[in-house]
Structure 1
């Protein structure tokens, strides 16, 4: 580097490099300017100056200098390397790889460039190139441990495990017998465990076990050693030895559920679906009773039997499990029991048990059959558990009664208010739920979790302004947006994005959804530093797991929600573009071409000016921002588009939506919503074959889903309206459609009207299926709109009686009923039918603010409270309350007077 310079300037060039590495950027700039004063066109100095300026956030100047330097010295590997580093800092990895390859053509044995190239190849998953580069590094520097390990890992990632094992064994052959020294024992042990895990992964089980026993003394992590040992023994079906190891592991960590699962497998008592024969249940019961005597302080050993026990044995085990936790006052007890509610029989037993415990405490002051008096708090926690039980079973009125009793008993316990808010949310009163969560928050202003739950309830109630003010209480310097974004607080961004979408504010909704997408891009970027770190520190097993996790990163639920939300925004934007945008387009279309060009130039200049002013303001604040310690503070970036207005100014919303759809199709192909969004997008884009592909996936995943049925009927109804094909491509598409239609079982030898009727006969007891049939009947035969409405109104809410429950449980879901109401009002466009449906649902969901139920916060508080008490006590029914007549007092007006 700098070889073409005289000695004095060559030393200055070395100073530039050293200053860059030690982050003394001003010193490096001073040295660069001294060289350029004498040699203004020296390419390598120009490049290094540009690289230094890039670290000082002067990117435009940096690129200009680096390109100038490269132009002046195209045969310098330094210029190409620096250009690659510049691209790498901007995450332009493919361009950076091109620059590195050009540098290696000039200096093929440069270890620094090869190392940087290998990191980028691992980042971009260019695995064959990664293997090649690591091999070259090992050839150049075979005495470096990291080069051996990197070459092995490269082969492993490239699905060549046998070669990776050979390389690791060859590396071990270069070591002396007394290796490793004390300061490298942990790292060497990790390398050995990685090698054994490789042997296991590629089926060399006996060899892996032999290697494990042989290297026992050199492996420091004994817990990982035992886990690896028992995994190999189980796969080799040496269950007796495996059982001993699992019991040994349980003595170390008796609350690890995986160890219990492994022990059951070794004893032949494990089932993937959780179903066991009576004989297996008896054997499992004996096993866990014996384990309970050994680990009586373990929670897992008492909780696991509840999953497989049945009947009276389940009741006894549940009783023994619940009692001490109620006495201690464990708020998370219901969360622990919640999976058992998927089995109705167990839910019935739990209800009987909890009611029995509550009644016994109320009458005797203790649990049934116990002479010990319980503390007063036990009754409160029992009511707390019972309220959550009723909430889980959809009996919200009973849940609210019990939680109110608990609050009256002990009004200072915050968890009670949080759970009441949760019950109100499930019951449909989002405003009251937010108010109750805020009351819980005000009882402990230092609790971040309760504050976050309150913010979430407010966003669900579309109280975005209030939610922002509440969230700001736990952010640095009261800067809510920047801090929550920097902390990657995705639940907040998703909840606020969904709230904005419900309110029709697509700009802000898009801004929130795309912020979540940016977090996932940052997570992908964050793995970069680990490519060298993990090889150096020998955390190889964790490194490979991290890479596998990164490969499936976009299948995470939060990303799916954000991408689906963004696609829905773009679809709505396409269906009803913003008024301002359409007006601007119309005005633009009236102008002659010359004026259009001038106007666009003027707009671009105005945007550039605004951006420059914001950047200048940032720099001023940065230069002025000195902390009390004397350190310079970084200015907060200015958001040039706080309301997301620029995000709405896209020429083709569907093309933008397709970008995110491709990610969902790649990473969430098993999700029904992915293919529904694909169908909606492609139908609007007139991509008939792609829409057909999405439809086939919908029918394959769930052909009985109402949305799948809607898509099927809509697609072929739309296709039938097309004109006769003329061109060869149209004829080809038409022939494909005909062939596919005959292959679909739902339409085999049936018209669309017949298929719709057949779907109704199959699902006539389901509200949402009837609504889908009604909607499609209206699409196929608009004249039969009254019949379509009658189909919906003839639906009955089957009340399911549950053994032990104090009342019937509704089969209809609140969100389904809201969707049907919107269907009647906006699609079938019948305000009278929508009004009738609303009145009917108000009786079924009395706490729903959407339907303005009598017990909701939509009704004035005092009247609401009295009517609800009357309803709960059986003094009046919903129809009487709606009509204003009650056997209690004759009419509702008198009832109102009594509350004043």
Structure 2
């Protein structure tokens, strides 16, 4: 949206030299009009004619600068605007134009100063006041916004936007009584005008907003009376019912709340929130009460899935077995691909998982033997033809069993079931997709990518499968292939990477950053993190246009929700993950800065001769030159394309966007001040992701390197507050104690303050060595805690790193969190030298031990990944010739898939999540 132009009706002058002749004055009005209509060429021509007669006319110079700014000539525009101000310091037009320029550069503080200076020259300018109010709400200067809206209200009391904006300024400041009084006066004035005319959607939105202010002010009785009085005028009946339910619950009118909730359930039987609210409304606490309620609801709504799923949460024993059995049977018969996802929440209970495992195996045996879910002994009259299940029932049961065993970590059984399903139905896309997921969980990302690509080839028109294939290729660090696959759904003739960036496709950028980090291309990874950060900044900037639009269109409740969303925008998981990755990389670059020769390093450099090393370096330089040349060609092509687009739209007034500084990977991975760059990402994390323990851990690591003692203490206190058993809290605390001991503080006041704070974090009568030994004994069955204890051992005695590494690399089935992800991180850290010098043999031994636990994982394998093709003679996993045929006799079948270290299912599933 183009910036609002200065008013052309009043042109203030301070002296005779700034007054225009009538002809030039008319011409100046045309300049303003041409700017409004985005006819920039005509505007520049008209301004040039004025300046021939009056070369020092400040307002014309300012307007010319504003037009030049819209055409992308920033420096020339700023020069003209400054000259305009210099020639006419008392002109509100010049200062207003300067504010518009600063606003276009996103320098909102400077723009606000310029607007306020313009108001000193013309205090009753509606245009300037309106622009100032938009900037104040954008910057959340709520007190200033209230004052500006008050002035607008006084100047234009007949406009609806004046009333609403004035009331909203009090609402956002928390003065609900004043906001309600303004809204009520406005409603009365509208009621006088709407004597016979029917109210419209805008009035309905106004009433909902008025009720929202009452609820925010905790005036629940008044809000209920209000909603009842104007119920017929509110057109959004669903929102109306939900508001009434909420008010009845707050006022303890449970009978009325129950009536509304049952109506809402009748309207949408799959909304689980309504069912949970009904439980709360009826004050149900025992399982028997809930069982009766949900049995009645299931009888009333037999086709609804939500009450059946909720009932499974509190049922146990035989009732649970019957309920889950009927639910699963219906899912197998209907062929529901998401059946496992709908019952996965039950897998936190070992008892329920055993029941599900026993039932599904019984169904499998009966389907193979009798063609039904039940055996002959369960049917007195035998099996009738109409009772025989179709072949698809067995297919979806196999699919479910593959998901079941994959979730339990039994990759072998999961693969056999999915292979048999593919053998029987080789054209079903979901089967190949889940087989790829099995390989992903097993650590074979290369095979997973190949399988997902095969699934994508079965349905090339499915965007979801295309995105999944792209993600799997990125996880396999095959970035070029991922771009090629993603390009099948991008704009033709454009670079897939640039198009996805333009579309703000952040999941792609985030996965790309992870792939680049895995390849040790830290510059490219940081580039993607910065791009994601810019997207979120654009989200914040984009709200600017809605400040006036929402008031004009009366979408007031949605506007308030948008403001709340924007205030916490950087708490989104995409930003959090990108920021955490960026901070981790900057910390690594601070500890180990990259040199100019780092790009020439090779993992096998130690085994190369001098001539081979020279050839290898030359080959890498040629490869880098080719990549750089191709990149430059692409950049040049994109530049020419954009220029051609601009030339085509030059006459229709398309404005230049703010040009961001180009992100160059080589510069990003060699920052002058890595910790300052890390703070750029860490600050939003501390503001919007305080509930994340990783935020405070990263904060401690940054402040530790900057020697910010009080900030380190703050991070330690927050980590302990959220989770005192957090493994990284231990290593951070002892690292801080070691720092205080090794570098005594000279400031006595700071030393006393730190000593007082430390008393709340640990017992002073224990040494660091003893605390670490106690920590190891207390968490002897946790690999994550062992990692942090190892870091402390190295901190205390760096020369004894061999003993520490031996302690770390000892694997034990009794570890509750000995999963692929944790062991992979240890292996990568050993190779990177994070635990000091480590022999090649030690790393190889650890790799070999991990390979035994995860034989399919690429990271621990010495041979390239190969996906085994499905053999047509493959024996089914349930046949007599199968090596696992004995595993289908319950209950021993379940014991074969749950090993000793998997008894604690909750911790096991947390480890399996990847």
- With structure 1 as the length reference, what TM-score do the two structures score? 0.85
Q: Tell me how large the CA RMSD over aligned residues is.
A: 3.3
Aligned-partner Cα distance in 1 for 2:839–2:821: 20
Note the alpha carbon deviations across 1:560-599, whole angstroms, 9 max, x for none: 111111112211221222212999xxxxxxxxxxxxxxxx
- The residue that corresponds to 2:316 in the other structure is 310
Q: Secondary structure at the match of 1:873?
A: coil
Q: Deviations over 1:735-784 (max 9, x none)?
A: 44444444433x43111111111001111112222333234224323465
Helix, strand or coil for the counterpart of 2:47?
Answer: helix
Task: Kindly indicate whether residue 491 of structure 2 is the aligned counterpart of residue 481 of structure 1.
Answer: no
What aligned pairs does 1:722-801 form with structure 2 within 5 A after superposition? 722=743, 727=746, 729=747, 731-745=748-762, 747-782=763-798, 784-785=800-801, 787-792=803-808, 795-798=811-814
Q: 1:639 to 1:83 in 2, by over 3 A?
A: closer
Offset at residue 54 of structure 1 (A) = 1.9
2:298 to 292, 299, 305: 292
Q: Given the superposition, is the C-alpha separation of residues 834 and 546 from structure 1 closer, same or farther in structure 2, using an over 3 Å criterion? A: same
The counterpart of 1:846, out of the listed 855, 861, 880, is: 855
Q: Give the superposition deviation at 1:107.
A: 0.9
- How big is the shift at 1:56? 1.9
Counterparts of residues 709-720 of structure 1 (less than 5 Å) = 709-720=730-741
2:227 to 191, 203, 212: 212
- Judge conservation of contact 1:618–1:638 (CA < 8 Å) in 2: no
Determine if contact 1:710/1:776 at 8 Å carries over to the other structure: yes
CA distance in 1, matches of 2:76, 2:192: 56
SS of the aligned residue for 2:544 comes to coil
1:681 corresponds to: 702
Q: Alpha-carbon deviation of 1:244? A: 0.9
Task: Tell me how far apart the structure 2 counterparts of residues 69 and 811 of structure 1 sit (CA, whole Å).
Answer: 69
Q: Whole-Å Cα distance in 1 between the matches of residues 658 and 448 of structure 2?
A: 36
Q: How many residues align?
A: 821
Q: Distance in 1 between matches of 2:586 and 2:829?
A: 21
Label 1:227 to 1:638 Cα distance change in 2 as closer, same or farther (>3 A).
Answer: closer
- The residue aligned with 1:857 is 865
TM-aligned CA deviation for residue 345 of structure 1: 2.4
- Per-residue CA deviations over 1:408-444 (Å, capped at 9, x if unaligned) read 1101011111111111111111111111111111111
Spell out, residue by residue over 1:114-144, the C-alpha distance to the aligned partner (whole angstroms, 9 max, x if none).
1111111111100011111111111111111
Counterpart pick for 1:130 among 136, 145, 151: 145
Cα distance between partner residues in 2 of 1:624 and 1:558: 32
Aligned partners of 1:202, 1:639: CA distance in 2, in Å? 42
Please report how far the alpha carbon of residue 631 of structure 1 lies from its aligned counterpart in structure 2 after TM superposition. 9.5
C-alpha contact (below 8 Å) 2:71/2:655 kept by paired residues: no
- Output the CA distance in 2 between the equivalents of 1:138 and 1:849: 68
Q: Pick the aligned partner of 1:169 from 184, 187, 193.
A: 184
SS of equivalent to 1:579: coil
1:166 Cα deviation after fit: 1.1
Query: Are the structure 2 counterparts of residues 490 and 14 from structure 1 closer, same or farther at C-alpha, using a change threshold of 3 Å?
Result: same
From 708, 722, 729, give the equivalent of 1:701.
722
Structure 1: distance between partners of 2:394 and 2:647: 57
Q: Distance in 2 between matches of 1:839 and 1:696?
A: 40
Quote the Cα distance in structure 1 between the aligned partners of 2:46 and 2:194: 46
CA contact (8 A) 2:112 2:132 kept: yes
Shift of 1:191: 0.8
- Between the aligned partners of 2:587 and 2:143, the Cα distance in structure 1 is 40
| Counterpart Cα distance in 2 of 1:509 and 1:674 | 19
Displacement after TM superposition at 1:832 (Å): 2.9
What residue is the counterpart of 1:327 in the other structure?
333
Q: Which moved more, 1:460-469 or 1:160-169?
A: 460-469
In 2, the alpha carbon distance for the partners of 1:185 and 1:225 equals 16
Offset, 1:384: 1.0
Segment drifting more, 2-11 vs 110-119: 2-11
Between 1:735-744 and 1:347-356, the stretch displaced more is 735-744
CA distance in 1, matches of 2:663, 2:122: 48
Q: 2:534 aligns with which of 506, 510, 518?
A: 518
* Match of residue 41, structure 1, among 48, 56, 66: 56
Change (3 A) 1:181 1:73: farther
User: Of 836, 839, 844, which aligns to 2:845?
Assistant: 836
2:369 maps to which of 357, 363, 368: 363
The counterpart of 1:529, out of the listed 541, 545, 548, is: 545
2:573 to 536, 540, 557: 557
**Is residue 2:664 matched to residue 1:658?**
no
Contact 1:180 1:188 in 2 (8 A): no
Change (3 A) 1:796 1:186: same
Q: Is the 8 A contact 1:621 1:635 kept in 2?
A: no
Q: Which residue of 1 aligns with 2:889?
A: none
Separation in 2, partners of 1:424, 1:186: 53
Q: Is this contact kept in 2: 1:354–1:386, CA < 8 A?
A: yes
SS of residue matched to 1:91: coil
Per-residue Cα deviation, 1:504-561 (whole angstroms, up to 9, x for no partner): 2111111100100001101101111111111111111111111111111111111111
For 1:465 and 1:642, the matched residues in 2 are separated by: 20
Change (3 A) 1:833 1:646: closer
Pair 137,614 (structure 1): closer, same or farther in 2 beyond 3 Å: same
Contact 1:622 1:632 (C-alpha < 8 Å) held by counterparts: no
- TM-score normalised by L of structure 2: 0.84
Q: Note closer, same or farther for the CA distance 1:743–1:291 as it changes in structure 2 (3 Å cut).
A: closer
